[in-house]
Amino acid sequence: MKNTKYGTILAVDDNADVLTSLRLLLKQHFSVIHTEANPEAIPALLKNTRYDVILLDMNFTKDVSSGAEGFEWLQNIHALDPNVAVIMLTAYGDVSTAIRAIKEGATDFVLKPWQNEKLVATINAAMELSGTRREVEVLKTNERALKSALSTALNQNFIVASPAMQQISALVEKVAATDANVLILGENGTGKEVIARELHSRSLRAKEAFISVDMGALPETLFESELFGTMKGAFTDAKEDRAGRFEIASGGTLFLDEIGNISLPAQSKLLAALQNRTITRLGSSKQIPVDIRLICATNMPLYEMVEQKQFRQDLLYRINTVEIHLPPLRERKEDIPILAEYFLKTYSAKYRKPLLRLSPAALKKLEQYPWRGNIRELQHTLERVVIMTDSAIIEAHDLSLTSAVSQTPSASSGGIVVENLNLDDVEKAVIRKALQKHNGNVSHAADELGLTRAALYRRMEKYGL
């Protein structure tokens, strides 16, 4: 018959008869049983073996009945292995001692002489608890590793070759170690989220969560539930309690992208949460404290919006303790060769092609192009050329950079100029015109185009806008 016993148990008691009894009983139910009369040996035993459960006597030869030695060794054990389950054994038990043992971290409390069936059941329950603790620890370790890998991967394109980006890197280094709120300003596609992640990765919160929220794509009706969370029954579809982004980010960094696109009522709710450092879930009256480092970003002219009463001045003061202005790619052309090399390496690997390289003429063409879509447009251009090019060297004629829309359309005509009737080019031109008309306000442009904000964002992503 197959042996299904499992579990590694350590029993520590200075009574040899007790250890013998435990060994004879437990070897029938568990795979490994270690016994030890001297508690001074516990550190060495824990160093060499990972135990699921430790049975620990509360009273050794130095102290007959108070349990002080047992409590001291309980603390030492959990300092060495926080996840192991410890069951206290004593012949001098009372309610107050049992309560203290549980409060100080013991899993359970068993009186001598024990009932065999009850002791085995207690150990089995403790093993389940120990296993769950270790699974949680593994998940936390994996989560930290994933966050680190993700942060590294996302910030490999934090390029600081140009003087402008070197200044920004120095500012990031100075600000990152603080908990100051940061506002990142810049055109679409300049890498605002990359800077936000760089601030997080260099901060004291780097091992905690970085939570990003696209405020421009967040419907007004979901603002509170997404940011502050919900309680079961708060509305028809609220079938369970759910934490919001503020709670999830607590201890780490909350990045609110497209902050300029939220309505005035939403701004008021956001301001209250930032001022009080507390949130209240929908359907609850309980205030939940949150500890976040706030980073916001926008391509909108917030100061003009304040003058036009479209953005709250007190909210602007709250979010912009430090401002970082990201220059457009056309003003940091020294970064183009390095960015291009990074994207070519990334997409060559993604599409299983030999590493492609730019000819001098192709690189010159990239450096002379105005890049209205900034880094995002460069990224999509190079992904497309990696897919379409068969040779190892990318020549200038491989780069399709002719803009479909006149960069300076006639103010008098207000028309949309296209060079051909390709539907993609026409759609790109119309979207660009709508965004220009509404000063980059995605919500207003989407309304005029008859699209949802999410649909417009997908098209902007497609065309590098």
182-185/293-298 β-pairing: parallel
Q: How far apart are CA 449 and CA 430, in angstroms?
A: 9
Between the two ends of the chain, the Cα-to-Cα distance in Å is 68
197 contacts 293 by C-beta, under 8 angstroms: no
Could you tell me the CA-to-CA distances from 30 to 25, 56, 126 in Å, in that order?
9, 17, 13
Q: Is the per-residue pLDDT at 403 higher than 50?
A: no
Model confidence band, residue 313 (pLDDT cutoffs 50, 70, 90): very high
**What is residue 149's predicted lDDT score, i.e. its pLDDT?**
47
Q: Cα Rg for the chain, rounded, in angstroms? A: 31
In DSSP notation, 55-85 reads EEES--TT-SSS-HHHHHHHHHHHHH-TTSE
- Residue pair 9/53 in contact (Cβ under 8 Å)? The answer is yes
Question: What domains are defined for the chain?
Answer: 8-136 (3.40.50.2300), 155-327 (3.40.50.300), 330-463 (1.10.8.60)
Give the separation between CA 52 and CA 123, rounded to whole angstroms.
9
Q: Which residue's entry shows tokens 């029954």?
A: 233
pLDDT one-digit tens code per residue, 204-247: 999 888 999 999 888 888 899 899 988 877 676 666 778 889 99
Predicted pLDDT of residue 146: 54
Maximal CA-CA distance, the chain: 102
pTM above 0.75, yes or no: no
> Do residues 86 and 101 make contact, with C-beta atoms less than 8 angstroms apart?
no
More confident position, 358 or 78: 358
pLDDT at 80: 87
Q: Tokens 């404290």 sit at which residue? A: 289
* CB 356 within 8 Å of CB 389: yes
Instruction: Please give the pLDDT value at position 217.
Output: 85
Interval 267-298: pLDDT, tens: 999 999 999 999 998 888 888 899 999 999 99
Question: Is the model's pLDDT at 343 over the cut of 60?
Answer: yes
Specify the range with the lowest mean pLDDT, choosing from 97-111, 138-152, 317-331, 441-455: 138-152
Bigger pLDDT: 24 or 447? Answer: 24
| Cβ atoms of 209 and 274 closer than 8 Å | no
**Calpha distance 420→417 (Å, rounded):** 9
Is the CB of residue 314 less than 8 Å from the CB of residue 271? yes
User: Among 247, 296, 300, 249, which residue's Cα sits nearest to residue 271?
Assistant: 296
Question: C-alpha distances in angstroms, 294 versus 159, 249, 319, 399?
Answer: 23, 10, 7, 39
Q: Which pLDDT score, from 0 to 100, does residue 231 have?
A: 82
Q: Which of 124-133, 178-187, 397-406 has the highest mean pLDDT?
A: 178-187
Q: Please give the mean pLDDT across all residues of the chain.
A: 84
> One-letter amino acid identity for 36?
E
Higher pLDDT, 364 or 94: 364
Which pLDDT score, from 0 to 100, does residue 252 have? 92
The Cα 233–Cα 245 span in angstroms is 19
Residue 447 has pLDDT above 80, yes or no: no
What DSSP letter does each residue of 292-346 carry, written as one string? -EEEEEESS-HHHHHHTTSS-HHHHHHH-SEEEEPPPGGG-GGGHHHHHHHHHHH
Selection from 277, 245, 266 nearest residue 311 by Cα: 266
pLDDT (0 to 100) of residue 50: 84
**What sign does the dihedral 321-327-329-332 (CA atoms) show?**
negative
Residue 47: predicted pLDDT: 84
What value does the mean pLDDT take over residues 345-359? 92
